[in-house]
Structure 1
C-alpha cells in the first residue's frame, strides 16, 4: 500500500506524548534467554513483527512423537535467523529447517554456522552454501572455545553469547581483528549479567561461565532507541519550538542507538531525561554546520535516518563505518543512494560509507521505494515536513514499529492512499 504524506501543523498539541514499545534488540535477546531460563519474566517487550516471529519460533509446538515441527519460517527477521540458529543448535534431539523470505535466503549466515560447527554443532545448508535455509540437528555441545572475525555483524557474536551459559563448559570467544558494533555486544553481556550469568570481555576475548539455573528475574525492556530516531529527525526538520515526549527511556541505556542524544545536538535537537522514565525532544535552534561527519560503526541502524535528516536540512554529510548495511533487509547504502538521488540529492556510497552534498532543494511528490525495508519507510517519512512524499509498501513498518503511521497522525502528518 502506498501512502501519500503531507504535513499540517495546525492540530498539533504543544508537546505530544508517545509510548514507544520495548527495544527489538533487547526483546529478542531476552526472549531467547527466557526460553533457556523460564523463570525470567519480561515487561514492555517489543510489539514488532520480528519479535513476534522470534517468540512464535521459540514456542513452536511439539508433535505427537515429541519432535519439533520440521520447518520454521522467520520471514524477513534477520535477528531471529541468527539467534535461532544458535538456539536450535543446542536443543538436543530436535531437528529443524530454518528458512525465511527470498531476501533472507540472500543474507549470509556462513560465519555463524562455521563457528557453531567448530564447537561441534550439526548444521548444513539446504540450498546455497553459506545462506539459509539451513538444517539444524540439536545436540549437546561440549567444546568451549571458538574464534570468528571481529568485524562481522554483532548478531553473530551475540547469538553465541546467548547460548553460552547453557553450554556445559561455558564459552570463550576470540574475536580476530578490529571489533565493530561493540555496544550490541555489551548489551548482550549486560543482559546476561542482569540474570546472574558471569561474563568477562578483555581485549579480543569474551568468556561466559556455565549457568544451569539462574535466579528468578523480572526485567522491564527499555523502549527502542532506533524507533526514537525517526522522532529525532521529525523534531530536527520542524520549526524552532517543536517538542515531543517519548517513553520509556533511561540515560544509562544499553542500546548503541542512544548515540542519537549527542548526534542530534548538531541538528538543533536537545534531549531532556525525565526521571529516567521518558525523554523530551525539543528543537531549540537551527543548525549552522555545512557538513555533518560521523563514525557510525557502533550504531549503523540510524544511518538512514541521519542521511535523510541532513538532506531535509540542506546539510551535507559524511557517514562512515557502515559496512553491515550491505547485508540488511536490502543493501541500504545503494537504496539510500537511489532514493535520495530521485529527490534531487547528490550522493555517493562505498562499501562502508556515504557522502551527501549539501542542497537546498527537494523534488516534491516523489515515490520512495522501501525495498521491503522498514527503516527505509520510516527514515524518509519525516521529509513530509518539507514536501509531499509518497511511501511505497508502507505496511513494512510493522517489522519494528507497527504503530508508526498512527503515531505520526498525532503530530500533524496527513495521509491519503
Structure 2
C-alpha cells in the first residue's frame, strides 16, 4: 500500500485532463469489434490507467479466441466497465470464457444479466453466496427483447447495445423503470455511430438493428475527461489559480454538469441546495467537497448506486468529509453536507481503495490547516495514474511513500 502526505499549498497553472476513460473503454470495444484495436487512439503522452489497460488486455484475448475458438480466461481486475461490457460481447460472439475479478468487483451485482440471458441461448454459471465472479459463460446469444430496470448500472445497457448489433436480426431493449446515468449510454451510442453502428432511442427503450458491422476509416480519438477535470475545477473553486483546458463545448459526458453545479453553489441564498446525481454519480466526491466550502447546506440525492462502486462511495465520501472536520450525514441514497469555514482540519484520510476519494482528498488537503496523510493513494492508478505528477507540476506539495 502507498500513502501520500499533502502539505497545504497554492496551486497555479494550466491543466489538460487525460482522455476520457469512459470514451476510451467504448472506443477500444468498438475497435475490437471492428477487428483492429489500433482504430482507437491511445496518445503516446497518455499514462494508461489500470482500467483501460484491463480492457485492452481482455479485448486482445477476445480477438485471439474469436480466431481460435478456444475457451479463454479473462481477468477484469477491478474494472466494472470492462466486466459489464465483455459479458454480452462474449455472448454475442459465442465465445466460451471464465471471467474473473479482484477487490470489490466479485461482489458488484451481475444478477440482471442472469435475468436478461434467461431464455436467450446463454448459459451463465455464477458462484453464489453473494459473489458474482468468477463466472462461466457459454452459448451464443439469440436476438430478442431484453428487459432491464433503469436503476441498475448504465453499463448493462451499454454492454447490450454494443453486442446486440452483431446478432442476425433486430433486438429491443425495454427499460422497465426510469433510466439513470443515461449520459453514459449516450456516450456509447456516440462511439458506436463513429464506427457505423446505430441504435434508436424509443419510448420503450432502444431498437437495435441486427447484422451491423463495426467499421471506420478514421481513427477514434477520445475527448478529455470531465470526470477527471472535476478535481481541477474543484481546486479552482477552492481558490487556486487553475485553468482547465481543452474541455469540449459540446459533449455527451454527463459529468460536464459539474461546472454548472458549482455556479449554483455561488448563489447567495439560505435555501438548501438539492442535487440529483442520478445521471452523474461519479462526481459526488468532488461535488461534496465543493458543497462543504459553498457556505450553503447541500443535499445530494439519488446516489444509491454509489454503494456498489470501488468503495461504498456514500460512506467513504462521508468519512473523508469527517476527516477534514466537515459536518455531514448520510442516508440510504445520499448525504447532507453542512457549510464548513476553511481551512479544513489536518489529519489522516482513508482513501478506501477508491481513486475518486484519493484525488478529492488531495485537493481538499491543499486548504487544510496542516499536513494531511491519505492512505491507499495508489488507488489513482485505476483512472489517473499521473495525477500527483500533474499536482506537483502546478505547485502541489505531495510526498508519496511506498509502505510495501
Shared fold, TM over 0.5: yes
Instruction: Name the residue aligned to 1:206.
Output: 206
CA 1:117–1:51: 2 relative to 1, 3 Å = farther
Equivalent in 12, 29, 33 of residue 36 of structure 1: 33
1:193 aligns with 193
Confirm or deny: 8 A CA contact 2:51 2:79 kept in the other structure: yes
CA contact (8 A) 2:189 2:199 kept: yes
1:257 aligns with 2:255: yes
Corresponding position: 1:408 with 2:403:
no
TM-score (norm 1): 0.87
Which residue is 2:308 aligned to? Answer: 327
- Please state how far the C-alpha of 1:157 moved relative to its aligned partner: 0.9
Sort the Cα spacing of 1:410 and 1:158 in 2 relative to 1 into closer, same or farther, 3 A.
Answer: same
**Which residue in the other structure is 1:143 paired with?**
143
CA contact (8 A) 2:302 2:334 kept: yes
TM-score by length of 2: 0.89
Aligned residues: CA RMSD = 2.3
Runs of 5+ unmatched residues, structure 2: none
Number of the residue aligned with 1:275: none
Alpha-carbon distance in structure 1 between the residues aligned to 2:273 and 2:119: 43
Which one scores higher on RCO, CA 8 angstroms, separation ≥ 6?
Answer: 2
Structure-2 separation of matches of 1:333 and 1:68: 42
SS, match of residue 172 in structure 2? strand
In 1, Cα distance between equivalents of 2:386 and 2:319: 27
CA shift, 1:52, in A, is 0.6
The answer to whether the 8 Å contact 2:318/2:328 transfers is: yes
Structure 1's 173 and 134: CA in aligned 2 closer, same or farther, altered over 3 A?
same
SS of 2:220 mapped into structure 1: strand
Give the superposition deviation at 1:250.
Answer: 1.2
Q: Contact 2:348–2:373 (CA<8 Å) still a contact in 1?
A: yes
Matches within 5 A, 1:4-23: 4-9=5-10, 16-23=13-20
User: In the TM superposition, what is the alpha-carbon distance from 1:107 to its structure 2 partner?
Assistant: 0.8
Deviation at 1:133, TM superposition (A): 1.5
> CA, structure 1 residues 19+177, in 2 after alignment: closer, same or farther (shift >3 Å)?
same
Q: Deviating runs (4+, > 6 A) in structure 1?
A: none
Contact kept, 8 Å, 1:4 with 1:390, in 2: the verdict is yes
Which aligned pairs between 1:198-237 and structure 2 lie closer than 5 A?
198-210=198-210, 211-212=212-213, 214-237=215-238
1:176-231 per-residue CA deviation (whole Å, 9 max, x = no partner) reads 01111111111112222222223211223201112035343422111111000000
How far apart are the structure 2 equivalents of 1:379 and 1:292?
20
Q: Does 1:114 align with 2:115?
A: yes
Q: Quote the Cα distance in structure 2 between the aligned partners of 1:74 and 1:140.
A: 21
Gaps of 5+ in 1: 269-286
Alpha-carbon contact 1:110-1:130 (below 8 Å) kept: no
Residue aligning to 2:51: 50
Q: Which residue of 1 aligns with 2:157?
A: 157
- Within 5 Å, give how 1:10-409 maps onto structure 2: 16-38=13-35, 41-44=39-42, 47-60=48-61, 62=64, 66-68=68-70, 70-92=72-94, 94-128=95-129, 131-137=132-138, 139-210=139-210, 211-212=212-213, 214-238=215-239, 242-247=241-246, 249-267=247-265, 288-289=268-269, 291-360=272-341, 364-387=345-368, 388-409=371-392
The number of residue pairs the alignment matches comes to 389
Q: C-alpha separation between the residues in 2 aligned to 1:379 and 1:117?
A: 41
